[in-house]
Chain A
Amino acid sequence: MTQLSQAQLLQAYRTMRTIREFEERVHTEFATGGIPGFVHLYAGEEASATGVCMQLRDDDYIASTHRGHGHCIAKGVDPVEMMAEIYGKVTGSCRGKGGSMHIADLSKGMMGANGIVGGGGPLICGAALAAKYKKKGGVGVCFFGDGASNQGTIFEALNLAAVWNLPAVFVAENNGYAESTSSTWSVACDNIADRASAFGMPGVIVDGFDFFAVHEAAAEAVRRAREGGGPTLVEVKFTRYFGHFEGDAQTYRGANEVQKLRQEKDCLLRFRNRVTSSGEVPAAELDAIDKDVLALIDRAVAQAKADPKPAAADLLTDVYVSYS
């Protein structure tokens, strides 16, 4: 078990807290009708994005899902720009042209949230392939859900990554539901990780409510990839607190299911309890981070609401690098 420094622990907490407050706030704002389109919230899953992305550099790539805000924040995309993007403003990460499902920042190795389930698998094989030629030990990490785990693109990507021995990590975020259907029904085998051996790579199952467990498994998988050992499939088991999309009443879930998980399993609570009781981090420091993050999110929302929308001319720009 790798020992994390206090600085790392604080960074991990800040990242998870930022994701949590970002998503909770988007949830409340969306309900007022102020946010256009669809949003899919990551609240409850913070440990996965944080534990994995802490292993990564700016020149490592990640591919994400439609539920991508957590991956973006963990990979270092500016939350203020993200909020503006979700509101469709020109100051957004994608100048208002992508929205929640397509936030990207290639300078930070974030290949984009993806509106196509399973779309990121092949793309990450590409980023990992490019990393081999660049010879800097870079890796590619594909986040995908239990729903996507049944898509052909994911099977193809797993096989291709193994056959080409790519420096890739496939993180199956199993939050128990693919839209409204349960993963225990839609995934034919018991665990998504059980499929790993079928694709010639190790499969690891991780408690997604436990940041430290995720961090440990991710460290090993990323190290293995960097050293040329090939791909790993890591299955993170946890939950999402909010619906598939905002507006989903989640009637397919058990009574009080979410409430119970928030009380008993929440990754932020568990993290706080562990590091304060071990004395590694004083509670006051965590409180200060909480306050900081709330202020950041307030600022992001206020700015996003005030910022201008893209100009009419922006409709026609950036279809091509040059149309000739």
Chain B
Amino acid sequence: MARQISYQQAINEALRQEMERDPTVLVMGEDNAGGEGSPGERDAWGGVLGVTKGLYPQFPDRVLDTPISESGFIGAAIGAAAAGMRPVAELMFVDFMGVCFDQIFNQAAKFKYMFGGKAQTPVVIRTMVGAGLRAAGQHSQMLVNVFTHIPGLKVVCPATPYDAKGLLIQSIRDNDPVIFCEHKMLYGLQGDVPEESYAIPFGEASVVREGKDMTIVTFGRMVHLSTEAATELAKAGIQCEVIDLRTTSPLDEDTVLESVGKTGRVVIVDESNPRCSIATDISSLIAQKAFGDLRAPIEMVTAPHTPVPFADSLEDLYIPSPAKIQAAVRRVVDYR
């Protein structure tokens, strides 16, 4: 696996390979090609950050620009899925879910159940999550926990280019509605990615780093900050096991609990706000199912209970840092 491409290119490649393989796969979203109806270039943007660039020229009838009406086109993607297509719709920023959430959580998520099993909605909603771009309160949230809460949805958060491609291919092939969360700070991250197509199953966490002293459970961009912290801590003789959840629904409980059984100490790192989050969800799971293995209370490293601030000095305080993660690990290690 010597070829290196970026997280963004890996997503583009997954879309392209699945569209080549399956004629029912559609791509739609605001500016997913760009230039619709305009006098200049078609495929002018290829997505606001260029993730879907190049798809329109190759599949001009299957890459659709949309007006700015999330309820309309996210709902259309969902309806088209129920009617037999496999749309990949883009909710440009997860923060916009407020204007289309009904279609996602009351329609797509519930068709299979409410219709007695007699429907399926194989839609993928790709969306950008996360802070760090100084995009402020309405363009920087995670909200992964909100989707995870809804029965009927699957929620995927790749942290690496390899995972992004394999999980997106799996998402497109999956027959349930999938929310595919792309962290906007990771688009430029390079990694080894096979040229061939491959699919990574859901509900399989990745043990990014093995260690016997501490379990760090995390997902998304925080995987990289946790690994950075773990490298520093290793120099001080504290060996941290870093678990990347990869999918929050379904959740790989076994890998988390097995690790806690080995280390007895847990820090959960989650970029979201702290109330009712993935961090609290994992904490509860561990407290319920691995209580006897714990040698110290569980710690969470999260954002504060605030919107994402604009000023770079404040945003840098908002986002968990390797230093904060290290401090949390040390507190758990030192607990008596």
Chain A residues with CB under 8 Å of chain B are 61, 63, 92-98, 102, 104-107, 111-112, 114-116, 119, 121-127, 129-131, 133-134, 140, 152-153, 156-157, 159-160, 163-164, 317-324
Q: How many angstroms between the C-alpha atoms of A309 and B77 in the bound complex? A: 34
Query: A122–B118 contact, CB under 8 A?
Result: no
Partner of B73 from A111, A160, A319, A320 at Cβ < 8 Å: A160
What are some 18 contacts across the A-B interface (CB < 8 A)? A63-B79, A97-B117, A104-B119, A106-B82, A106-B119, A119-B75, A119-B107, A123-B79, A126-B75, A127-B80, A153-B71, A156-B71, A156-B73, A160-B67, A319-B151, A320-B154, A322-B176, A324-B202
Within 8 A of A (CB), among B101-142: 102-103, 106-107, 110-120
Within 8 A of A (CB), among B206-220: none
Please, which residue of chain B has its CB at the minimum distance from the CB of A315? B113
Q: How many angstroms between the C-alpha atoms of A323 and B78 in the bound complex? A: 19
- A314 to nearest B CB, angstroms? 9
**Chain B 150-183 interface 0/1 with A at a Cβ cutoff of 8 Å (1 = within):** 0110100000000000000000001110000000
Given contacts A61-B79, A130-B80, A157-B71, 9 further A-B contacts (CB under 8 A): A104-B114, A115-B106, A119-B107, A123-B76, A125-B76, A129-B79, A129-B85, A318-B116, A319-B113
Query: B72–A160 contact, CB under 8 A?
Result: yes
Partner of B77 from A105, A116, A126, A134 at Cβ < 8 Å: A126
- B179 to nearest A CB, angstroms? 13
**Chain B 219-251 interface 0/1 with A at a Cβ cutoff of 8 Å (1 = within):** 000000000000000000000000000000010
Please, which residue of chain A has its CB at the minimum distance from the CB of B201? A324
Point out the residues of chain A lying under 8 angstroms from B175, CB to CB: 321-322
Query: Number of contacting residues on B, CB 8 A?
Result: 47
Any A CB within 8 A of the CB of B284: no
Q: How many angstroms between the C-alpha atoms of A112 and B79 in the bound complex? A: 11
- Given contacts A119-B103, A153-B71, are A94 and B83 in contact (CB under 8 A)? no
Query: A163–B85 contact, CB under 8 A?
Result: no
Query: A125–B72 contact, CB under 8 A?
Result: yes
- Given contacts A116-B102, A126-B77, are A319 and B201 in contact (CB under 8 A)? no
- A201 to nearest B CB, angstroms? 15
Q: How many angstroms between the C-alpha atoms of A119 and B104 in the bound complex? A: 11
Query: B176–A320 contact, CB under 8 A?
Result: yes
- Given contacts A318-B112, A324-B203, are A129 and B80 in contact (CB under 8 A)? yes
Q: How many angstroms between the C-alpha atoms of A124 and B78 in the bound complex? A: 9
**Closest 5 interchain pairs by CB?**
A122-B75, A126-B79, A156-B72, A95-B116, A123-B79
**Chain B 18-57 interface 0/1 with A at a Cβ cutoff of 8 Å (1 = within):** 0000001010000000000000000000000000000000
Query: B120–A321 contact, CB under 8 A?
Result: yes
Query: B118–A94 contact, CB under 8 A?
Result: yes
- B86 to nearest A CB, angstroms? 10
Q: How many angstroms between the C-alpha atoms of A131 and B114 in the bound complex? A: 24
Partner of A112 from B26, B69, B111 at Cβ < 8 Å: B111
Partner of B83 from A61, A95, A115, A121 at Cβ < 8 Å: A61
